A and B are shown apart, each in its own frame.
Chain A
Amino acid sequence: MIVFDRVSKWYGAFQALNQCSTHVDRGEVVVVCGPSGSGKSTLIKCVNGLEPYQAGSLTVDGIEVGGRKTDRPRLRARIGMVFQNFELFPHLTALTNICIAQEQVLKRPPDEARHKALTLLERVGLIDHANKHPSQLSGGQQQRVAIARALAMDPMAMLFDEPTSALDPEMITEVLDVMVALAKEGMTMMVVTHEMGFARKVADRVIFMDDGRIIEDSQTDAFFGKPRSERAELFLSKILSH
């Protein structure tokens, strides 16, 4: 469904992505990992066009993301995204955060949007917090609202950009639980994360990046069994040693 073909990106003279080719099929869960600055966030942000790329081709459901004539807002409405810092809209309640794009982008009637939002809040265990503002919620709760907000658009795929990196340890689990449930339901997911437990549990494939390149792209078992690259071995030994 998401197909990268030799995608390259530069920030000025610095090359952030170097000929990245990979794919995420329908219903597949792909985890992207790698050291900081390796380009994994940039890679995932290319998928919904938040970051432009300068060379290669990237298609989502057959649509070229960077195409001149591509209606990017329309494409983005079909792809959910969850951010490291939650990015809920601070002036709106949890409920309104989930309703606003349904109403303004998908033009759903308010009643329907509200019903959908409440169903999703129930599902992420936050129905009692519907009328709270983001700053009245914990990080883990905010991130679960953010996931509900993305799901409300009935996306064909979900992108997660380090969804648990800004969370206290005890809140990581509550967010990962929601993500695991989502993966098991067959949602197409691309997840940038350092949570190797999560990767091992639900990922179909793991992509390892370094220095803007995709170094490894293998089945989860194979990746954890014996990463082929020295760099991935080193990375894994560092983050799994504790």
Chain B
Amino acid sequence: MTYNWNWSILINDPYLGWLVDGLLWTLAVSLAAWVIAFTLGSVLGILRTTPSPTLRTMAATYVEVFRNIPLLVHFFLWYFVFPELLPDAAGMWVKREMPLPAFTTAVVALGLYTASRVCEQVRAGIEAVGSGQRNAGRAMGFTEQQVYRYVLLPVAFRIIVPPMTSEFLTIFKNSSLALTIGVIELTAVTRRIEEYTFQGFEAFTAATVIYSLITFTVMGLMRLIERRSRVPGMISLGSG
């Protein structure tokens, strides 16, 4: 096989600009989706542990529906099917006038899917804190909301920093599926560079390095959070 290596295309115009744009779209989709995933996932995780059976069932149903549909199917459902289910005017708006339709849909699909996974981490964290702590909080006269705010969540969120790191990393990698509905993010520009230049190895190497840089940054950030929130003398909060 003869292959003409040409790394210089990566810094040539317009390909370098494409890579930068791709990176920015990847970051935008992932971070916006993470905001949805983290917020909604935390609320759902809390609901899954409340004393109310109705709320628990609602949250459990959400999780089962959203995590059992493949992510790629989520993208297609939200992009192609969801607008058809809306009343005509609203469907038309989503298809024609909604700003950045592919981006918005990707953020929603990825965010809602990841929320179901975050939910389970949060639930596991709260359950790890234990019923003894819940009872201690109640015995002090805290309301249910106060028990969560002052007793369960501060410890639960500390416990789940490591698994949340995984979720946060995964959302950057999963964001590459947004290319299937037309978001020109990092993986999409990589393919495009290959199509224009036939330098696929260089393009995909660049993408790999950029994804790695993102994930290393995220890991560093999460480690910082873990260190900052560490409780003195505590080795494993979950065992307390």
Contacts and interface: CB of A to CB of B under 8 A. Distances in A.
A158 B153 CA distance: 27
B1 interface: no
Contact of A50 (B139, B142, B146, B233): B139
B197 interface: no
A153 B141 contact: yes
Contact of B142 (A79, A88, A105, A136): A105
Given A76-B140, A104-B146, A133 B135 contact: no
A105 B151 contact: no
Contacts of B155: 89-91
A79 B141 CA distance: 9
Given A90-B237, A135-B240, A76 B141 contact: yes
A180 interface: no
Given A91-B154, A134-B240, A73 B141 contact: yes
A101 B234 CA distance: 23
B135 to A, nearest CB: 5
B143 interface: yes
Interface residues of B, number: 24
A226 interface: no
B133 to A, nearest CB: 6
Max chain A C-beta neighbours (<10 A), residue from B133, B140, B154: B140
B135 A91 contact: no
Interface in A42-98: 45, 48, 50, 72-74, 76-81, 83, 85, 87-91
A79 B232 CA distance: 30
B140 to A, nearest CB: 4
A100 interface: yes
B239 to A, nearest CB: 10
A108 interface: no
Contacts of A45: 135
Given A87-B133, A89-B151, A136 B232 contact: yes
B141 A77 contact: yes
A136 B235 CA distance: 11
Contacts of A101: 140-142
B135 A87 contact: yes
A110 B226 CA distance: 28
A165 B240 CA distance: 16
Interface residues of A, number: 32
A89 B150 contact: yes
Contacts of B232: 132-133, 135-136
Interface string B127-149: 00000110111111111001000
B191 interface: no
Interface in B155-179: 155, 158
Max chain B C-beta neighbours (<10 A), residue from A104, A106, A153: A104
B231 A133 contact: yes
Interface in A141-182: 149-150, 153
B132 A83 contact: yes
Contacts of B136: 81, 83, 87-89
Interface in A89-141: 89-91, 100-101, 104-106, 132-136
Contacts of A88: 136
A104 B143 CA distance: 10
Given A83-B132, A134-B240, A90 B231 contact: yes
Nearest to B152: A89
Contact of A136 (B132, B158, B233, B237): B233
A83 B135 contact: yes
A100 B150 contact: yes
A190 to B, nearest CB: 13
Contacts of B140: 76-77, 100-101, 105, 149, 153
Q: Which 7 A-B pairs have the closest CB atoms?
A: A77-B141, A87-B136, A136-B233, A101-B140, A81-B139, A135-B233, A105-B141
27 contacts: A50-B138, A72-B138, A73-B141, A73-B142, A73-B143, A73-B146, A76-B138, A83-B132, A83-B135, A83-B136, A83-B139, A87-B132, A88-B136, A89-B150, A90-B231, A90-B237, A90-B240, A91-B158, A104-B146, A105-B141, A105-B146, A132-B233, A133-B231, A133-B232, A133-B234, A134-B240, A135-B232
Given A89-B154, A91-B231, 15 more contacts: A45-B135, A50-B135, A73-B138, A73-B146, A76-B138, A77-B140, A81-B136, A87-B136, A88-B136, A89-B150, A91-B154, A101-B140, A134-B240, A149-B140, A150-B139
